[in-house]
Chain A
Amino acid sequence: MAHGVVGQRFFPATITTDDPFAADELALPTVSSFDHETDIDVDYSKTIVPGFAIGLGIGHVDAGSPGEPRERGFGNLEISPTLEVARDDQHEFILSAALDWEIGGTGSKKVAEPFSTYTPTIKFGKGFGDLPDSMAYLRPLAVTGTVGYAIPDAHDEAKSVEWGGAIEYSLLYLQNNVRDQGFSNLIAHLTPVVEFNFSSPTKNGGGPTTGTVNPGLIWSGQHVQLAAEAMIPVNRASGHGLGLIAQLHFYIDDLFPHSLGKPLFGGRK
C-alpha cells in the first residue's frame, strides 16, 4: 500500500502490491478470499522524516482444503521501512528502496513460518502525463512496480524473486488534465486498475513461478479509499478458482495533517 502525489499525478494506494510512497496511512482491513484461504490484514505506515516511513503489518489467516481441518491464527508481524530515493515531478516518476522483514515466530505456529524472511525491494511509479498531444488519452495511464529478493533465514528454504506491479487509468487525470468528460465527483475519483503479483523461486526444486493477476477498481476520496479486485491465478500452482480482495484505506496524512499524519521530524515535503 501507499498513496502519494508526484507532479500532476495522484497515485492511489494499490492493494495487492506495494507502491513506492513513504506515506502516513492505514489499511483496515484488507480482506481476501482465495484458494480456500481467507485473510484479514491490517497495515499501518508512519513517516519518520519526509520521504522515509516505517510500515507495520499483521494478518489473520483462516486456511484449509475441503475435507481437511481448517487452520487459523495470526501470521508473522512484518516491518517495512521505505525510503524515497528519487522523484521527478515533470515526468511523474518516483523510485524508492525498501526492506520487508517478516519476523519469524511472531505469529501462530499453525499458519506462520518459524523463520524470518528479509526482502530488499526496489519500487517505482511512473505516470504518463508527459506523452505528446497525439497520445493525450494515454496520459491518465500510470504504472507502479516492485522487485524484491526474498531471503529466508532458513537454509532449506528457497530464495525467490518477488515481483509485481499495477497498471492504472486515472479518471481524475482524464477529467482534469486531458478532457473534461462531465464526470460526477463519484465517477471522477475512480481508477480502474490491474495489479499483478508473482513469486519466482531462484533454485531448482523451489517450484514454478506463482502469482495472480487482479483486475479491479479503486475509489479514492479526500480521506479514505475503497478498492476491490478479482484474483485470477496464473497457473495451477498458484491456486484454484477466482478470488476476491477488498480494502478500506485511510489517508492518515489527510485525516490528521497536523498531528499523526505528518512526519515525526522535518515537517511536510
Chain B
Amino acid sequence: MRKLSLIGLAAIAWCAAPAEAHAFLQHADPGAGARLAIAPTKVVLRFSEELEPAFSSVAITDGSGRNVAAGPVLIRGNAMLAPVRLLKPGTYRVAWHVVSLDNHRTQGVYGFVVKP
C-alpha cells in the first residue's frame, strides 16, 4: 500500500509539473458538420495548448475549392480567428494545422453548410 501511495504521489507531482503538449481542437465555431441558417462572418478555433503563430494557420474554402478568407488569420494564445467573406449557401471546408509551443504538430479538416 505504501508503494502504491508513493506511485500515486509521484503521478500527481508529475501531472502538476508545467508542461506543454499536442494542441488538440477543443472548440470550433462553426462546428464540424454544422448546418447554419445564417452565414458566419468568421471561423473561430480554440485549442488545448498555446499556438506557435508562425507555423499555425487555417484555410476556409467553398465547394469549388476557392479560398473565402476576408483577411489575415489572427492567432492569440490558444485561439485562432479567420474572418470570411459573405458566404453564399453551400458547403465549406475548414482545414487547420497548428504547432504548439513545444513543436508538436496537429491538423484537422471538417466541413459545415450554409443553408439556402
Give me the interface of A with B, judged by CB distance under 8 Å: 5, 7-8, 10, 28-29, 89, 136, 172, 175-180, 185, 222-224, 248, 250-251, 253-258, 268
Q: Is the pair A178, B20 in contact by a Cβ cutoff of 8 Å?
A: no
Contact A177 to B110, CB < 8 A, known contacts A172-B24, A224-B15, A254-B19:
yes
B9: CB under 8 A from chain A? no
Taking residues whose C-beta sits less than 8 angstroms from the other chain, chain B's interface range is 20 to 34
Which B residue sits closest to A250, measured CB to CB? B14
Q: Which of A172, A250, A257 contacts B103 (CB 8 A)?
A: A257
Instruction: Tell me the dominant secondary structure on chain A's binding face.
Output: mixed
Q: Which of B7, B21, B32 contacts A179 (CB 8 A)?
A: B32
Q: Is the pair A177, B32 in contact by a Cβ cutoff of 8 Å?
A: yes
Q: Is the pair B24, A10 in contact by a Cβ cutoff of 8 Å?
A: yes
Give me the interface of B with A, judged by CB distance under 8 Å: 7, 11, 14-15, 17, 19-22, 24-26, 28, 31-34, 48-49, 102-110
Which A residue sits closest to B11, measured CB to CB? A248
| Cβ–Cβ < 8 Å partners of A248 in chain B | 11
Contact A251 to B21, CB < 8 A, known contacts A185-B26, A268-B104:
yes
Q: Which 4 A-B pairs rank lowest in CB-CB distance, beginning with the nearest?
A: A180-B31, A179-B33, A257-B102, A254-B21
Q: Is the pair A223, B25 in contact by a Cβ cutoff of 8 Å?
A: no
Q: Is the pair B103, A176 in contact by a Cβ cutoff of 8 Å?
A: no
In the assembled complex, 10 residue pairs joining A and B whose CB atoms fall closer than 8 Å, in A order, are A10-B22, A28-B11, A176-B25, A176-B110, A177-B109, A177-B110, A179-B31, A223-B15, A224-B15, A268-B103
Which A residue sits closest to B33, measured CB to CB? A179
Which A residue sits closest to B95, measured CB to CB? A8
| Cβ–Cβ < 8 Å partners of B21 in chain A | 222-223, 251, 254-255, 257
Q: How far is the CA of A8 from the CA of B20 in the complex (A)?
A: 19
Q: Is the pair A8, B28 in contact by a Cβ cutoff of 8 Å?
A: no
| Cβ–Cβ < 8 Å partners of A177 in chain B | 32, 108-110
Q: How far is the CA of A179 from the CA of B32 in the complex (A)?
A: 5
Which A residue sits closest to B31, measured CB to CB? A180
- Most chain A beta-carbon contacts within 10 A, residue among B31, B32, B105: B32
Q: Is the pair B32, A255 in contact by a Cβ cutoff of 8 Å?
A: no
Q: Is the pair A254, B20 in contact by a Cβ cutoff of 8 Å?
A: yes
Contact A29 to B7, CB < 8 A, known contacts A5-B22, A178-B33, A254-B104:
yes
Which A residue sits closest to B101, measured CB to CB? A257
Least Cβ–Cβ distance between A227 and chain B, in angstroms: 15
| Cβ–Cβ < 8 Å partners of B24 in chain A | 10, 172, 176, 222
Q: How far is the CA of A29 from the CA of B4 in the complex (A)?
A: 10
Q: How far is the CA of A185 from the CA of B109 in the complex (A)?
A: 19
Least Cβ–Cβ distance between A176 and chain B, in angstroms: 5
